Structure 1
Amino acid sequence: MPEPHRSLSDPRELNALAHPVRMAIVEILSIDGPLTASELAERLDETPANCSWHLRKLAQHGFVVEAEGGKGRQRPWQVPGLGFRWDEEHAAASLEERRAAQALSEVVMSRAIDRLRESQQRAPEESEQWRAARSNVEMVAWLTADELKEMNDAINTVLDRHVQRLTDPAQRPAGARLCEFVSWGVPVYFPGVEPA
């Protein structure tokens, strides 16, 4: 996977990003920016004033910056780079850092699950080709730590295959649509099943 734009560990930064509207702003600007607060408000069903307030909060932590070509209310915003990394399980992290990282992870995953639900609801409206292309997979397996890492690395390699298309529209083939993959490979805990 390409290196993320930024590694987050400061609880203030993590908490600033762990808000559904702010995360939505960062996501939209990452995919289709630069945009003004008014344009973001229209897409997010929020008020321009609310989007402006959240943009200022994001800007305080460097998550968004002003783009060229506007003034006042017509000022466009953009992200300075793509991707974040944070670690909610880092042993040396303070309790405050771990809680803030966990809150951010929960916002990110909740938004991804909401998009999955919407996609499932809208599937009947899709063409047969797009319905046949979609997939939901869930599985459990007995793995060693080395095997789990190997599988996660292999999945990340596959997911990285088309990452450049996000920022370079010239690489997108005709008919390409924005698609989302969410993956996690973690030890799980079933009632009554011993971990080892």
Structure 2
Amino acid sequence: MRDEPIRVTELTQMRAAMHPARWRVLTELFDRRETLTATQAAEITGLTPSAMSYHLNQLAKAGFIEPDDAADGRERPWRAMGSGLEISGQPDAAMGRAMMQNILAEVTRLLSAGPPSGPDGTPWPSSYTHTQLHLTKDRAKELHRRIHEVIDEFEDDTEGPEHEIFWIQGVHPSGSSEDAASARR
């Protein structure tokens, strides 16, 4: 279903999504909720259309995108098979770093646009929060579930100005690796 996020639990799917060009195209497809051709995707990523065609096929094999009907039959448009990715599998260290780099690039892209304007043209107040919680695995799962319940409640909101709201949630070990090692002794 295209209104639901694609649940990613397998390392092979994570690898397919983590290439920076693939990640950029996926986020564009999820954000636009429209189609992209290899040529359009190449313009976004700076790759050639033939290289982008390869990457689009890899995303399709992973179950993230599918071909859409071509309007003119010359180029094949692709569409997302869900509303986003929900990655809950356990990545290896290299995959975890790639995931963080892609998220950082996405946040940088979003923030570089500056604050949106309100109806009267004045900048809309931006709000950024950084909170660090120390939770057990079960409590972290509960927090994740409850946050997504709230997001689901607001997802189809058609009232008010159109502003891009983003949410980032991540997990990292509490303390440094030295702290963790001494705690095990």
Normalized against structure 2, the TM-score is what? Answer: 0.71
Contact 2:13 2:62 (8 Å CA) reproduced: yes
* CA distances 1:89-127 after superposition (whole Å, capped 9, x unpaired): 4xxxxxxxx43xx5554434322222333444443x754
Q: Percent identity?
A: 24
Counterpart in the other structure of 2:126: 133
Q: Whose helix proportion is higher, 1 or 2?
A: 1
Number of residue equivalences: 175
* CA distances 1:54-83 after superposition (whole Å, capped 9, x unpaired): 112222333221101346642111122234
Counterpart in the other structure of 1:188: 174
Counterpart in the other structure of 1:168: none
- RMSD across aligned positions (CA): 3.3
Aligned counterparts, 1:31-180, within 5 A? 31-32=31-32, 33-70=34-71, 73-89=74-90, 98-99=91-92, 103-123=94-114, 126-127=116-117, 128-130=122-124, 132-135=125-128, 137-141=129-133, 143=135, 147-163=139-155, 165=156, 171-173=157-159, 175-180=161-166
Over 3 Å counting, the alpha-carbon distance change for 1:105 and 1:84 in structure 2 is farther
Counterpart in the other structure of 2:6: 5
State the alpha-carbon separation in 1 of the partners of residues 110 and 63 from structure 2: 32
Over 3 Å counting, the alpha-carbon distance change for 1:146 and 1:19 in structure 2 is closer
Counterpart in the other structure of 1:16: 16
* Structure 1 unaligned spans of 5+: 90-97, 166-170
Over 3 Å counting, the alpha-carbon distance change for 1:49 and 1:142 in structure 2 is closer
Alpha-carbon shift at residue 51 of structure 1 (Å): 1.4
State the alpha-carbon separation in 2 of the partners of residues 147 and 60 from structure 1: 34
Alpha-carbon shift at residue 177 of structure 1 (Å): 2.5
Counterpart in the other structure of 1:92: none
Contact 1:8 1:84 (8 Å CA) reproduced: no
